[in-house]
């Protein structure tokens, strides 16, 4: 295992929470690394917050390789995890081939969506020595089939299926598992049952870590903020104000 990922492996037994944020370019990655973020995710969420798509389903392998390379150039300390985009891991063979592309681009691990139904893909990748972070719960790449972003684990039966998914990805060799939009009272049993860390997004505090999209945290995408996010900055407003002031100055209206 890459030395940078050792902190992920040891965090849960040592009782350390994991702070993960997304980055998609060199300056953002460098800022997050300098800030001490534990792990940086090159998320396919770039489809929405960088490329302007309505969801993640238009993101390609070429997009992910391109942005992973940019992020890696800005990081000196934190491990970089790269998302595998939709249809890049439909089979174990494709999963391994595309995981290798992201590792060649500089990622230290890859992340893919799916539970027990994708255990074979996870096993194929980890069997080749490439670390994998799994992703269960609400799966953004399935948003069109599901008709939106829906909370998971609302019934005892649904919660049990999520637990079985979590155990399956752990057994397949996953290093950690992102758990998205899972009902809070369904989350604690998952975290308790696993030896690997759970990293929540919109799944409450009963996780071993948390991940957010940097644009949501920093207020850099003011047109939409998920309900579970509490922005800690207003970067979008600052940029808009700076651009307006610059435009006024160029137009000869410095006091505008």
By annotation, the residues acting in catalysis are: 180
Bridge partners (DSSP) listed for residue 39: 20
Distances (CA, A) of 120 to 63, 76, 91, 117, 164: 25, 32, 8, 8, 15
* H/E run at residue 216: helix 214-217
**Contact call for residues 163 and 175 (beta carbons, < 8 A):** no
Where does the chain have alpha helices with state H?
A: 6-14, 26-35, 46-49, 61-73, 92-104, 119-127, 143-146, 156-171, 184-193, 214-217, 235-250
- Interatomic CA distance for residues 223 and 176, integer angstroms: 31
User: What tokens appear for 52 in the block?
Assistant: 């302007």
User: What is the DSSP track for 151-181?
Assistant: -B--SHHHHHHHHHHHHHHHHTT-SEEEEES
- Interatomic CA distance for residues 141 and 127, integer angstroms: 25
């Amino acid at each position: 295992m890459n030395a940078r990922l050792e902190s992920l492996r040891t965090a849960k037994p040592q009782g350390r929470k994991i702070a993960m944020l997304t980055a998609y370019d060199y300056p953002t990655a460098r800022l997050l690394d300098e800030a001490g973020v534990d792990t940086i995710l090159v998320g396919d969420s770039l489809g929405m917050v960088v490329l302007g798509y309505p969801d993640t389903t238009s993101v390609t392998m070429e997009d992910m390789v391109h942005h992973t390379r940019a992020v890696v150039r800005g990081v000196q300390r934190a491990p970089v995890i790269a998302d595998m985009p939709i249809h890049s891991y439909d089979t174990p063979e494709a999963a391994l081939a595309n995981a290798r592309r992201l590792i060649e681009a500089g990622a230290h691990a890859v992340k893919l969506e799916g539970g027990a139904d994708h255990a074979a893909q996870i096993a194929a990748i980890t069997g080749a020595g490439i670390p994998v972070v799994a992703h269960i719960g609400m799966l953004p790449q399935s948003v069109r089939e599901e008709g939106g972003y829906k909370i998971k684990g609302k019934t005892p039966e649904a919660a049990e299926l999520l637990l079985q998914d979590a155990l399956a990805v752990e057994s397949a060799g996953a290093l950690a598992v992102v758990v998205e939009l899972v009902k809070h009272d369904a989350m604690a049993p998952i975290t308790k049952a696993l030896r690997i860390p759970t990293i929540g997004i919109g799944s409450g505090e009963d996780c071993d870590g948390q991940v957010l999209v940097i644009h949501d945290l920093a207020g850099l995408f003011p047109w939409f903020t998920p309900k579970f996010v509490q922005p800690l900055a207003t970067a979008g407003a600052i940029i808009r104000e700076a651009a307006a002031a610059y435009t006024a100055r160029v137009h000869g209206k410095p006091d505008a």
